[in-house]
Amino acid sequence: MHLRDYQRQQGLTLTALAARLGRPVSSVHGWLRGSRRPDHASLRRIHEATGGAVTANDFMTGSPATPDPLLAEAARLGIDAEQVARDALRAAIGAEKARRWAEENRAAIAAHERAMETGDTPLAAYRRF
């Protein structure tokens, strides 16, 4: 349900809705018009204050009149688009960190590989085999 629909269903004025959400009237007005999107903390507060009637997914469309078909399909199938996005970001962050680590340590990795190829292992003189 969109925030505007929730406001109408509850019979709330803009000021009353802002008070219920604990956010400035100007912010709530922007969310209702679609000119602004709430930040993460505000999304949580909206979800709590509306008893779950309004979710983060409700703000993921271009406008209330034109819902994103991909998000609508995900919702129909019971897919949590926000969780999928978080999982994808975690994977992308992990891959980028691994790529950067490999790049930063390229010289050390190459030196280790050369040492292994030539059998020149550290402390080889102390080996008993």
- Taking the whole predicted model, whether its pTM rises above 0.85 is answered as no
pLDDT at 60: 75
pLDDT at 66: 55
CB atoms within 10 A of CB 6: 20
> 51 with 11, same domain?
yes
Residues 51-84: tens digit of each pLDDT:
999 988 888 755 445 567 888 888 889 999 989 9
> 45 with 97, same domain?
no
> 38 with 84, same domain?
no
Which domain range does residue 98 map to? 80-119
Residues 6-58: tens digit of each pLDDT:
999 999 999 999 999 999 999 999 999 888 889 989 999 999 999 999 988 88
- Kindly state whether residue 108 falls inside one of the protein's structural domains: yes
- Kindly state whether residue 128 falls inside one of the protein's structural domains: no
67-101 b/e with 16+ CB inside 10 Å = b? Answer: beeeeeebbeeeeebeeeeeeeeeeeeeeeeeeee
pLDDT at 14: 94
Instruction: Look up the CATH number of the domain holding residue 50.
Output: 1.10.260.40
> 91 with 50, same domain?
no
- Kindly state whether residue 71 falls inside one of the protein's structural domains: no
